[in-house]
Every structure is written in structure tokens, then in C-alpha cells.
Structure 1
Amino acid sequence: MEDFPNEIFYEIFEYLDLYDIYKGFYNLNTRFRDLAIHTNVLTKINPSIMSNSNFKDYYQNIVKPNQKQINFLRLINPFAINIIFPSPRTILNFNSLETLILDNLHNKKFDEFFDHFMHLPNLHSLNISLTEGIKSLYILFCQIFRLPKLKYCKIEYYSENNEEPLYIDLNYNCSSIEHLIINGPFPFNTFNNLLCCLPKLKHLSMNSIVGSQMISEIQELSPIELKYFKHISLKIDYIHFGKFEKIFKDFFHRVQTLHLTIIGDKSSLDAKQYQELITSYMPYLRIFDINHEYSIGKNDLTYHDIINQFNSSFWIENKWFFTHQHRRTLGPHTGIFYSTAPYRRKYFTYYLTLNNEVCSHIQENVNSVKHLHIVSQGIQNNVLNYFPNVNQLSIRYISKKQNESTIASLQRIVPLKQLTTLFIKYTDLPVEYLIKLLYFAPNVHTLNLIELPSSVTDLKLIKENETSKCVSNMNKIENLTIRRWITFYEIPFILHFFPKLKYLKTQILTHETRKIIRLLLSETRNRIRNLLKTTP
């Protein structure tokens, strides 16, 4: 290996994570240390999950000596942010920074950083996810709009009061942003003013536009022409479509791609009003992609009567086609209406009914789907679709009575061996079902649960189960998220059942913190001791 030219190693480094390069080559000898330090990979810092001590070592030897040349920086843990930026001003040492991604950032830390973001001369891409509820969306967006060279911005937050998100009284704070993604509740009555602040906007995605019960009025700014605005994706929650018409007319003239997800508004399922808006105000529209969920009153037209209006010549000539599903057992008065191919949808929600009535609708191509979300009170054998390329699966509302046959039915919907990420979005999960599911999905590395099964404290019984032994030995789960509280008595199950675990995100009781930490440290020492015993 010593005889290989440097160019060979530089090519190898292109396929490795920077931390792997550091751990594998840095301490071999002087030559490899120089190779690791001077590789072009050092311009991009995107560390994987690691311990606090390992990250400090990585920071001292790799990040700190090269901070002036780093142009891409992604940090996913709060302790990593504190190590690299012991004070907010130290971010100015990264004067070549172009892209900054900070996950799980505390609001106070964000406020402290922001004045210094202004002085990073090349920062054009910012991706921030905040860990705490936002008190003032006005301050948040005004800060972002002050960044003079920002082209791309993705912001993730939640409001402290989701029922009444705070207003953003924006004036003409013209931003340079071209691509904006907002993942968090955004008040509809400020949407007009937001668009007025983005004259260079090309792409906008918002995952929750909501109404508000607050009485105070906000002065609406006069619309501006968005000359470059071509792509928009919106999720609209319980807002009458009539309120949105003016936005369409004032701002969407040059839009070419429109993705709409609409919850709980019957008026948004009127084919004639869409046809009029598109014909009169959106002459460049090429892609019309809608996903609409609503239950209509039984005295109204049936759900089928309403959606059949989308079968007219206008929609056919534009090659915009649609299909639908009925949700649960509510029959023809409820449904999910959505666009079909040619759109390459990567996320798909599949509603499975308990009754045997199967509504005739267009069979669609689902080969592009990577993340499947199954919503059902029971998965039966009469499933209509198979999703061959899914690697992420979310399951919600599985009935306990269905657990015996659910896995066999799941295998008729998705290739379980292909899964790498699994979300189980319901409570009262039997431990036997979790074990069997992971047995048939051995390549899952990320698991997200609402809560642990209640019987996990009976670890002795679980260890005696042959399937459990097999799953414990072979599963590859490294990332585990449990949304609800866990107790000290559930930790042994986690340590036993997920031996390759690197990252655990959950909530624990304050008075159990010390006990849990002692148990984790003790288990770590035991594993190291056993490793040394088995090493030849």
C-alpha cells in the first residue's frame, strides 16, 4: 500500500466519509496524515453520528486546522454545534462557508448566531431545524430575509400554539432567496406579504398553511410580479378555497408546476373553478398535481359525483389524470382524490379499507414510490398495489386482531427485506409483532416508534424466544427514536435487542437520569471487555 501513488488514495477518499478517512488513515504515518489533511474532501464537513469524545478529537485534528477552507458544514447534534462554535463569533472563522446545515438547534443559539451569519461573505444556502416552539415568526423570517446572498433556505420549526400561529407582519424586506422550504405552521393571512418579500423566488414549498382565530388585522401589501416563480408545493389545512383564489390570480401567473395537498375543504374539489383559474391566470402551467382529502355530507352530491367533474375534455387534453381511494368504512361519502402518472411521486399514502368493496379507479404506476405510508384498521389480502422500490415504510392504525396476518399481507405490498427505515405510528404495539416484523425486515437501520411495547420489561421471556434471539443478533438498527417517555426498566430491552445502536432519541424522567446513565456506561464497559476477550 505504501507504493501506491497519492492519486489512488484521493480516488478512494471520494467514496468514504471524512470521519472514516480520518480514523482509517490519519494516525498511520506522516504520509497518510498529510494525505488526509490535504484532500479536497476537507472542504465538506458532514460528520456521521459519533460520541462526544470522538467528535472533539475529530474537531481538533480535522475541522479546526481546515476551518478557513470549509465550504459545506452539516451538524446534527447540539453538542457538536457547541464544540465547533464555543461562542457565536467563532462562526466567522469559516469565512469560505457556502452551505450551512444545523439540525436540532436551540432557538437561543440561533438568535446568537444570526448577526454573525450576516458577515459570512459566501453563505448562499441555509438549512435550520429548531428544537423549541417559536414565539415570533416575524423575527425569524425578518432575520432570514436580512442575509444578503442567500439563495436557498430550508427552515423547520413548530409554533408554541399550533391552533393560533403567530402573525408575521412583513413589510417590503426584499430577500435574495430563490428556493424556500418552510416546514412548520404558517398563517395564511400573511402568505400574501411573504410572497411580496421574495421578488427572485423560483421554488416554494410549504408543508402547513393554516388559518388563525386571532382578531388583529394585518395590512396586506400590494402584489408584486414574480418573474421567475415556476414551482410551488403547498399543503393547505382547513382553509376555504375562495380565500386562495386571489393568491392564485396575483402571484401564480408564471408557475409551471403546481403541487397542492388540501385537507378538510369541500370547496377545493371544484373542477370548474380550477379550470377557470388555470385558463385565465396560469397560462404556463404544465403539471397540476393535487391530493385532496375530505368527507362530504350525506345530503350533498356523492363523492363520485364531485370527482367525476375532473374527467372533462379540459383535463384529458392537458393529460392530467386522477384517481381516488375511500378511507376506512365511511363508504362513498369520504375519499382521497389525487393525481396519477406521469408524476414521479416518491411519497405515497395508501388507505386500506376493512370492507370488501373495491372502487373501480385508474390503476397507477407506483414504481417511483420510495416512502409508503399505510393507513388502515386492518391489512387484508385484497390489496391492489405492489410497491417494488419502497425502502421507507410508515404504518398507522393497525388493529391488534390483524397482527397475526399483517406481516404476510405487508409482503404482498412492499419488499420487506428492502426496507431501511421503519415508522410505526400507533400505540399498544405487541412486542411479538415488532420482533416478527424486524425478522422479515433485517436491513432496517432506522426505527421510529410512538412507544415501546408494554411487555418489554419481561426481558427474560423475550430472550427465551428463538425469533427474538435471531433478531437481536442480526438486526442492523443504529438509529432509534421513541416519542414517548421511557423508564429505567425499559433500557435493558433496548440494550439487548438493538446491540448495534448508535443514536437514541427519547424522553426520560429527571429522577431516573443518573440511573440510566450509569446503566448505559456499565453496558458499554461490558461490551468493550467482551470484545477484548474474543479478539484473537
Structure 2
Amino acid sequence: MEQNKRSRNNIIHDYNDNKRKKINKTTVETNCLSKEYITNLEDLSNELIYEIFEFLDCHHTFQAFYDLNQRFRNLFLHTNLLIKINISSISKSKFESYVKHIIKPHINRINSLRLSNPFTADMCLLLFPLMTNLIRLQALTLIDIEAKYIEEILNYLSSLPILSSLIIISIDSIKNPNDIYYKIFRLSALKYCQISIEMKQHSRSLSIATDKFSSIEHLIINNDISIDQLDSLLSYVPQLRRLSIGHLEESTYNRTQKNSINLTYLTSVSIELDYVSFKDFEVLVANYFHQVQILRIRVFCIIFSVNHNQTEYLNADGWQRLISTCLPNLCVFDFQHTYRILSSNDQRQAFETLINKFNSSFWIQHQWFFDFQYHDITWSNAAIFYSINPY
């Protein structure tokens, strides 16, 4: 995965380099342009100017070219290029100008919109009503937005025909996230969804989906969520292929029954477990992960104790049984278990006895290898057991 990521980054880097070569390494500053740069830019063809427009963020292009002269203004206004908008720290007056000169006249060309600062109520009133007209919008990212605006935004998004990517990160807590989840699952074209919406208090789980389902294929939830809530959420996403949970919490009831939800396409799972018993985790795997090929698990505990149920995650035989029974397609097993306090010799001996069992023939045959480290910290010793990935 990391190799693919590096290859992708190299391709993007080469693509950007080629664009820079086309303009003879001319640098366009967004704040100001000296006369020397203006002279050089005036000599460039319209086609090459459009290459620059495509390379730069639309907001920066507007700042750099719109008031330069009439030629550049006309080029900016009459291009058919799709617009990617990225607005972070901006004053109200500049935002009003941007809405007037860029967003409103070219709203049918905007395919990506990223807002990454807390907006005032006045700014929201300017932008939100326009969202229903973003008919070519494919990706929307909202960073550090106030929770009170999220539901209203989602109401506007429901009419967008090709919105396939949505990222929402709230800056404060929300009272009832279930309404947010419902509205997200009703976005008809959505494929990628990343959300982080902290709750003021634990809410009830969604009702299980029966006839209305989401098209989401990649779901990332970075806020706290219980296994009970996850059960309900997964019933809405039968097309799910990749799942990532930032903080999965324990169940509030006895989870023994087999779930009827079938996630046929789910092949990649990444979860950080927070006081979830291995028994509950086994039920989760048995219910949903039969097709999973990539499994990444993070477990964090405060105190190591052989009598504590968190040591169940260091039971090599338990893992072997679970993988053999419920994860027949597993290729990548990325595992990390951290203990905050492990200081006595008896604790270390018990810890090492458990992890040494991960050296059996089962793990060797799968080419899954492990290591551990001790770390001295201010008031205790920490221990980390983790997989060494040859892939």
C-alpha cells in the first residue's frame, strides 16, 4: 500500500514538473507580481496560461490574475475548465468578493469545494443557499465547521446528482449524530465518506436499514462509536469495500447473535479498539469480515494484567482460531498492542510468554512476523507488541 502511495505521489510529482517546464519555470506568486513577471506572462500563449490556471488552486488564480489586466481577466472568466475551490483563512470582505466574482458566475463549473476555517453566520448565509446549484460538484470537504451548520449543509447537498466524496470534521460537539448519519446515507451518488463529529453524550443507535441503502464504498469514522452503533451503521452500506474506525468502544449489551447483514465487498478494515473485549471483537469479525483481505488493528491498554480481558488480544491461539474460521481471505495482518504501564519483572515475563506464541508455524506460514519494545517514560514503563510487515 505504501509503495503504491509513493508511486502515485511520484506520478503526480512528475506531472507537476512537466507543467512547470512548460512555463519555463515561471513562478506565479499569489500575493503580488513584479513587472518582470508580468512581462514574461504577457508573452505566453492562452493555452499555456490555461495550463497555469489548471495547476493552481482557483482561489489563488483569482488573487493572482483577476485584477492583473483585461486579458487575464477575460481568460479567467471564459475558460471551460472545472474549478477546484480551496478556502481556508479568509476575511469576510474577501469571501464576499470571491462569492460574487467566482462562485456565483461559475457555479456550474465547480467540481471540488474545500472549506477549512470556522465560518461566521453571515458567510454561511452567503454560501449555503448556493449549494443546490453545484450540479457538477463531486467532492466537498468541510474542516472545523461548527456542528450547528452540518445538518443544514446536508439538506442542501441532497439534490446534488454526482457528489461522490464527502469529508466533514466538526469543531465542536453535536447533540444527536443519528440525524447526520441518516442524511449522509441518503446522498445518492456518495462513494467516499470521512466524518469526525464528536457527541455531547452517547446517543441511541440508528434503526437497522431495511429498504433504503447507501452507495458508500469507503467509510472513515474518526469519532468515538460503539460496536452497537457500528452494527446499525453497517446495515446501510452493503456496497462497502473499505472501513476505518478511529475509536471503537465496547458494546452495551451481550453480543452473541449472528447478524444477517452481508458485506460481500468489504476487503479492507482498520480499527482502533477502546476497551472492546476480544469476545465482542470475535462476534464483529464473524458477522462482517468474512471477505476481508487487509486487517489493521490497534489496541491500547493502561495496565498489563494476566487477569484482565485485554490480554486476550495477546492470545496467539485465539487469533489463529479466529483467522482460520472467519478470515479465510486474509493476506495482510497489521497488529499493534500497547500497554501504558508494564514495569515489574513478573509482568514482563508474563508479557513475553504470551507474545512468544506468535512464533508458531501458523504465523510463519502466513509470513506474519512480530516484534516488541519497552519504552521508559516519566512514571512507568510502556510495552508495544507489533507486526513487522514484509509486504
CA distance, structure 2, for counterparts of residue 219 and residue 112 of structure 1: 39
Q: 1:12 to 1:169 in 2, by over 3 A?
A: closer
CA distance, structure 2, for counterparts of residue 90 and residue 220 of structure 1: 47
1:184 corresponds to: 223
1:325 corresponds to: 373
2:262 corresponds to: 225
Per the TM alignment, residue 84 of structure 1 is displaced from its structure 2 partner at its CA by: 6.2
1:107 corresponds to: 147
Q: 1:43 to 1:184 in 2, by over 3 A?
A: same
Per the TM alignment, residue 169 of structure 1 is displaced from its structure 2 partner at its CA by: 3.1
Q: 1:112 to 1:138 in 2, by over 3 A?
A: same
Within 5 Å, give how 1:165-176 maps onto structure 2: 165-172=202-209, 173-176=212-215
Whichever residue aligns with residue 104 of structure 2, its letter is K
Q: Does residue 287 in structure 1 map to residue 332 in structure 2?
A: yes
TM-score, with length taken from structure 1: 0.58
- Provide Cα deviations, 1:469-500, integer angstroms capped at 9, x if missing partner: xxxxxxxxxxxxxxxxxxxxxxxxxxxxxxxx
Moved more, 217-226 or 260-269: 217-226
Which SS does the other structure have where 1:68 is aligned? helix
Which SS does the other structure have where 2:105 is aligned? helix
Q: Which of 93, 112, 126 does residue 166 from structure 2 map onto?
A: 126
Within 5 Å, give how 1:42-121 maps onto structure 2: 42-79=82-119, 82-83=122-123, 85-86=125-126, 88-121=128-161
Q: 1:108 to 1:47 in 2, by over 3 A?
A: closer
Q: Does residue 31 in structure 1 map to residue 79 in structure 2?
A: no
Whether the aligned pair in 2 keeps the contact of 1:85 and 1:91 (CA below 8 Å) is no
2:278 corresponds to: 241
Q: 1:206 to 1:179 in 2, by over 3 A?
A: same
Within 5 Å, give how 1:479-518 maps onto structure 2: none
Q: 1:38 to 1:288 in 2, by over 3 A?
A: farther
1:207 corresponds to: 246
Q: 1:40 to 1:154 in 2, by over 3 A?
A: farther
CA distance, structure 1, for counterparts of residue 388 and residue 125 of structure 2: 47
Which SS does the other structure have where 1:160 is aligned? coil
Whether the aligned pair in 2 keeps the contact of 1:55 and 1:80 (CA below 8 Å) is no
- Provide Cα deviations, 1:321-364, integer angstroms capped at 9, x if missing partner: 11122132699985111112335xxxxxxxxxxxxxxxxxxxxx
CA distance, structure 1, for counterparts of residue 325 and residue 314 of structure 2: 18
CA distance, structure 2, for counterparts of residue 303 and residue 331 of structure 1: 19
TM-score, with length taken from structure 2: 0.79
- Provide Cα deviations, 1:252-282, integer angstroms capped at 9, x if missing partner: 1110100001122211111111111111211
CA distance, structure 2, for counterparts of residue 6 and residue 274 of structure 1: 62
Whichever residue aligns with residue 145 of structure 1, its letter is F
CA distance, structure 1, for counterparts of residue 353 and residue 220 of structure 2: 36
Which SS does the other structure have where 2:390 is aligned? coil
Whichever residue aligns with residue 342 of structure 1, its letter is P
Whether the aligned pair in 1 keeps the contact of 2:259 and 2:287 (CA below 8 Å) is no
Whether the aligned pair in 2 keeps the contact of 1:236 and 1:261 (CA below 8 Å) is yes
CA distance, structure 1, for counterparts of residue 263 and residue 116 of structure 2: 34
Whichever residue aligns with residue 63 of structure 2, its letter is K
CA distance, structure 2, for counterparts of residue 183 and residue 209 of structure 1: 9
Whether the aligned pair in 2 keeps the contact of 1:199 and 1:225 (CA below 8 Å) is yes
1:313 corresponds to: 361
Whichever residue aligns with residue 87 of structure 2, its letter is P
Per the TM alignment, residue 149 of structure 1 is displaced from its structure 2 partner at its CA by: 1.8
Whether the aligned pair in 2 keeps the contact of 1:18 and 1:41 (CA below 8 Å) is no
Per the TM alignment, residue 107 of structure 1 is displaced from its structure 2 partner at its CA by: 2.1
Which SS does the other structure have where 1:121 is aligned? coil
CA distance, structure 1, for counterparts of residue 240 and residue 275 of structure 2: 26
Within 5 Å, give how 1:363-382 maps onto structure 2: none
Whether the aligned pair in 2 keeps the contact of 1:75 and 1:81 (CA below 8 Å) is no
Whether the aligned pair in 1 keeps the contact of 2:150 and 2:180 (CA below 8 Å) is no
CA distance, structure 1, for counterparts of residue 360 and residue 256 of structure 2: 40
Per the TM alignment, residue 40 of structure 1 is displaced from its structure 2 partner at its CA by: 5.2
Within 5 Å, give how 1:350-365 maps onto structure 2: none
1:262 corresponds to: 299
1:338 corresponds to: 386
Whichever residue aligns with residue 312 of structure 1, its letter is S
1:195 corresponds to: 234
Q: 1:21 to 1:339 in 2, by over 3 A?
A: same
Q: Which of 28, 50, 54 does residue 10 from structure 1 map onto?
A: 50
- Provide Cα deviations, 1:55-80, integer angstroms capped at 9, x if missing partner: 32222222221112211111112337
CA distance, structure 1, for counterparts of residue 104 and residue 350 of structure 2: 65
Which SS does the other structure have where 1:182 is aligned? strand
Q: 1:94 to 1:19 in 2, by over 3 A?
A: same
Whichever residue aligns with residue 283 of structure 2, its letter is K
Per the TM alignment, residue 103 of structure 1 is displaced from its structure 2 partner at its CA by: 1.4
> Over the residues paired in the alignment, what is the CA RMSD in angstroms?
2.8
Paired residues, number: 338
Unaligned runs of 5+ in 2: 1-40, 302-309
Per the TM alignment, residue 51 of structure 1 is displaced from its structure 2 partner at its CA by: 2.9
Whichever residue aligns with residue 337 of structure 1, its letter is F
- The higher-RCO structure (CA 8 Å, 6+ apart) is 2
CA distance, structure 1, for counterparts of residue 268 and residue 230 of structure 2: 16
CA distance, structure 1, for counterparts of residue 124 and residue 50 of structure 2: 26
Q: Does residue 273 in structure 1 map to residue 318 in structure 2?
A: yes
Which SS does the other structure have where 1:158 is aligned? coil
Whichever residue aligns with residue 168 of structure 1, its letter is S
Unaligned runs of 5+ in 1: 344-536
1:381 corresponds to: none
Whether the aligned pair in 1 keeps the contact of 2:197 and 2:223 (CA below 8 Å) is yes
